[in-house]
Amino acid sequence: MEDNAVEEILFGKSVFRNEATLLSEYVPPRLPRRQHEVMRLAQNFRPLLIRDGAFAVNVAIIGEAGTGKSALAKFVMEKIAQAASKKGIRILFEYFNCYTFRTKSAVLRNLLTEHFHILSRGFSDEELLSMLVKRLVSENAKLIVVLDEAPILGGEEILSMLHAPEVYGFGQSRISTVVISRPSEWRVMLSAPLSGHIHDQINMSSYDKEDLLEILRYRADMAFIPGVVPEEILQMAAEIAASTRNARHGIEILYQAGKRADSDGKSQLTADMIRHAKESVYPELRYDIFYTLKSHEILTALGIARSLNSRGSTSTTIDDAYDYYRLVCEEEGFSPQLKPSFRKNATLLLNLGFMGLIVGPVEKGKRGRHGRITLYDIPASILEERLHDILSRLKKGGLDGTD
């Protein structure tokens, strides 16, 4: 019976023609409403297509969540690589999400391994960069590095990479950079030296409803069988996404509604499916990033969520959250870390934008202002439930209580 049920799912009818086109990492053949930004970014990197030139170009792409920053960078870099190939110029392109690659060392080691098969552990950052530049020169290649969520890497780390032309001489660096950030994080990170090394800053405006409607219609045409998504459903999804001005929000709602249609055996998306999807999609909570966290970083988030949920409060303290973290560790079979490590993990979560910090007035008898942790974009009960699910999946994949 189970075999038959699985086969029905695998070979049964679906509303999707190609659901992969709705996934966050997918880059479509066209970027609606971003033609100007595409042309501007391409123009910045045009000097790399000069056969005898070895210039370094550094561009920042700044915008709120869901404005197409990553897609813009990937789309244009692929076009540049294709154009370079036609001219017999070797341009390498590598995309890094700094949630996963959190240090310059990790970025440089990956570049040396992936493109030149060089195992480089045990070397300093300066040695790694020197090895990379020398290999690019010897193979007459140019490199474009995209650093997404760049503030996680840090301004000093980024600046040291952008300094390469000054260290190795004009025309010898061969490493160009695209830095991607949200505006608030960029303002905090930006310094005069860093600003001086950025040749252009492309600001991505947030989408309005008409923008979102065109984007969702384009994605729906690729993802679904014709007739599955009526115009009024597209209008409804665009209206919801317009509240956040986030294209990823609308695309995810369509995706989840499509999955619900398949689960219910329906041939068309309905308003109820869109409403149900809306309740389960929180655009600011990037679940894929949780899978890049270490076990105790996830357990820290779970402890904070449990503290907020159990107390029915809008905020909690490090001390209270740590007590719940210890309880969660016991339940999940992990040995809890000491409070300084917990505090460090909590700070990381705050920096990543998963949590918020409320700074209150100075309490009587205590020195300094008192900070409390809060959630802005998702109820604590929903976060706790989903963190449990993520932790369960990671444990099935081999995670244990020792890391």
Domain of residue 108 covers: 35-204
In a domain? residue 218: yes
Q: Which residue has the higher pLDDT, 129 or 42?
A: 42
Query: Given this model, what pLDDT does residue 130 score?
Result: 87
In a domain? residue 217: yes
* Number of domains into which the chain is organized: 3
Residue the block writes with tokens 């760049």:
150
Q: What is the CATH number for 249?
A: 1.10.8.60
In a domain? residue 5: no
Query: Given this model, what pLDDT does residue 364 score?
Result: 47
Q: Where are the beta strands (DSSP E) in 75-164?
A: 90-97, 141-148
The answer to whether residues 245 and 311 belong to one domain is no
In a domain? residue 6: no
The answer to whether residues 183 and 45 belong to one domain is yes
Residue-wise pLDDT for 186-220, tens only, equals 987 888 888 989 999 999 999 999 999 999 999 99
**What percent of the chain has a predicted confidence (pLDDT) above 90?**
57
Average the pLDDT over 79-98 and give the result.
94
Give the integer Cα–Cα distance in Å for 195 and 281: 36
Query: Given this model, what pLDDT does residue 323 score?
Result: 95
Give the integer Cα–Cα distance in Å for 215 and 32: 6
In a domain? residue 30: no
Average the pLDDT over 88-98 and give the result.
94
In a domain? residue 29: no
Query: Given this model, what pLDDT does residue 69 score?
Result: 97
The answer to whether residues 131 and 176 belong to one domain is yes
Domain stop point among 235, 260, 280: 280
The answer to whether residues 123 and 212 belong to one domain is no
pLDDT at 77 over 50: yes
Q: Which residue has the higher pLDDT, 165 or 118?
A: 118
Query: Given this model, what pLDDT does residue 86 score?
Result: 94
Query: Given this model, what pLDDT does residue 174 score?
Result: 87
The answer to whether residues 71 and 198 belong to one domain is yes
Query: Given this model, what pLDDT does residue 8 score?
Result: 53
Domain stop point among 169, 204, 239: 204
Query: Given this model, what pLDDT does residue 254 score?
Result: 97
pLDDT at 65 over 50: yes
DSSP code of residue 224: B
Average the pLDDT over 170-192 and give the result.
83
Residue-wise pLDDT for 300-315, tens only, equals 999 999 999 887 877 8
Burial of 60 per CB tally in 10 Å (0-12, 13-18, 19+): buried
Lowest-pLDDT range, 50-54, 75-79, 117-121, 304-308? 50-54
Q: What is the CATH number for 49?
A: 3.40.50.300
The answer to whether residues 111 and 157 belong to one domain is yes
Contact, 82 vs 31, CB < 8 A? Answer: no
pLDDT at 385 over 50: yes
Helix (H, G, I), strand (E, B) or coil at 27: coil
Query: Given this model, what pLDDT does residue 401 score?
Result: 46
**What percent of the chain has a predicted confidence (pLDDT) above 70?**
86
Give the integer Cα–Cα distance in Å for 136 and 327: 51
Average the pLDDT over 373-387 and give the result.
79
The answer to whether residues 374 and 317 belong to one domain is yes
Domain stop point among 161, 182, 204: 204
Average the pLDDT over 27-44 and give the result.
97
pLDDT at 354 over 80: no
Helix (H, G, I), strand (E, B) or coil at 34: coil
Query: Given this model, what pLDDT does residue 250 score?
Result: 95
Instruction: Give the ranges where 333-379 is alpha helix by DSSP (H).
Output: 339-352
**Where does the pLDDT of residue 154 fall: very low under 50, low under 70, confident under 90, or very high at 90 and above?**
confident
Give the integer Cα–Cα distance in Å for 328 and 310: 12
Average the pLDDT over 388-402 and give the result.
70
In a domain? residue 10: no
The answer to whether residues 133 and 54 belong to one domain is yes
Q: Which residue has the higher pLDDT, 153 or 269?
A: 269
pLDDT at 124 over 70: yes
**Where does the pLDDT of residue 360 fall: very low under 50, low under 70, confident under 90, or very high at 90 and above?**
very low
Residue-wise pLDDT for 243-281, tens only, equals 889 999 999 999 999 999 999 999 999 999 999 898 778
Query: Given this model, what pLDDT does residue 6 score?
Result: 54
Average per-residue pLDDT for the chain: 86
Residue 152 backbone zone (phi > 0: left; psi -120 to 50: alpha; other: beta)? alpha
Residue-wise pLDDT for 221-242, tens only, equals 999 999 999 999 999 999 999 9
The answer to whether residues 60 and 88 belong to one domain is yes
The answer to whether residues 300 and 375 belong to one domain is yes
pTM for the whole thing? 0.78
Q: What is the CATH number for 355?
A: 1.10.10.10
The answer to whether residues 86 and 111 belong to one domain is yes
The answer to whether residues 169 and 200 belong to one domain is yes
Give the integer Cα–Cα distance in Å for 151 and 157: 10
In a domain? residue 168: yes
pLDDT at 2 over 60: no
Burial of 108 per CB tally in 10 Å (0-12, 13-18, 19+): buried
